[in-house]
Structures are given as structure tokens and as C-alpha cells.
Amino acid sequence: MKPHTICVLLLSVLIAFSGCKRTQPAAPPVMLDDGRGAILVIFERVPGADRDSWLSQITLAGPGDTKTLPRIPVADQQSLLVLNVPPGFYSVTAQAYLRKNPPHAGGSLSAVEVKSGRLTVLQGNRLTGEERFQPVEPLHFVNCVPWTLRQTEKFHEYIADIIALP
């Protein structure tokens, strides 16, 4: 065989094998990194809200850069999770709203402690009037529980169980 023919044959085999690879969808980034904590904000529910139009945002002010931390909206539970937060104290401001509407729930709370391996749970209030765009209503501390999620496919069930805790 000529060298040119061998190269074409090898290239064809490589293309065939690369075409056979199955790409699996990436698992959602819902696992907590070692030495980090998480914050879950539960918002007052809007009955009958379409999960595709439910939006939320959260701002953390504290040690280190928090702008790039993973934020996972859980629209079916009308809550928002921030993962991999370095331990420390944070000021938290959160809002939830339906697309093309002003915020309906949220609040602010300073001195929220985040602990390694734990999930800090906060509750937002119904917002009315002027505070809808800069929430002056307080967020309420609900609970601080150990992070026990071990399987990413159980994420929604895990969050629902945390929300159901007293």
C-alpha cells in the first residue's frame, strides 16, 4: 500500500470511531465542593406560576469573590441555591419575580453565617411598594443543615425535602 492510501485509511478509521462516541449530557453542578457551604433561599410561592417564567437573583457580599459561584434556580420549588460558598459571614440580598414583572418576594439579611459542609436556609418575604426593587424586608433564617446530597439525580427531591423541614 502506498503511504497516501494508509493515511487516508487511518483518517477514515479515526473519523468513524469519533462519530461513534456518545456524548452524555453534563450533570448539573449540584455537588458541594469540600470545605465549602451553600445558601438556599426559599421565596414566597406564586400559585400557578409557570416554571419557565419564574426568575430569581441573589447577591452575596462577604469574604472573597462570590459573583462567579454557581447559582441554581429551582423553579418548581420557587427557591434559589448558591453552591460552594467559602465559610464566613455574608450579607445576602435576594429577589424572585415572574418574567416582565417587578419582584414579588425577597429580602435582605446581614451576618448570615455559612459553614463548611452545611446548607444555610433563608426565607424571603412578600414584597410590596417601594422595596420591590431594593428589598428592605428582612430575609428570615430558617435552618442550617448538613449537606447530605450524594447523587446529582436526586437533587430536586433533596431540595424539596429541605424545604419541607420545619
SS3 sequence of the chain? CCHHHHHHHHHHHHHHHHHHCCCCCCCCCCCCCCCCEEEEEECCCCCCCCCCCEEEEEEEECCCCCCCCCEEEEHHHCEEEEEEECCEEEEEEEEEEECCCCCCEEEEEEEEEECCCEEEEEECEECCHHHHCCCCCECEEEEEEECCCCCHHHHHHHHHHHHHCC
Write the pLDDT tens digit of every residue in 18-47: 444 444 444 456 789 999 999 999 998 887
- Structural domain spans, the chain: 37-164
At the topology level of CATH, where does 37-164 sit?
Immunoglobulin-like (2.60.40)
pLDDT of residue 152: 87
Q: What is the pTM of this model?
A: 0.78
Between 93 and 48, where is the model more confident?
93
Question: Is the confidence at residue 129, as pLDDT, over 70?
Answer: no
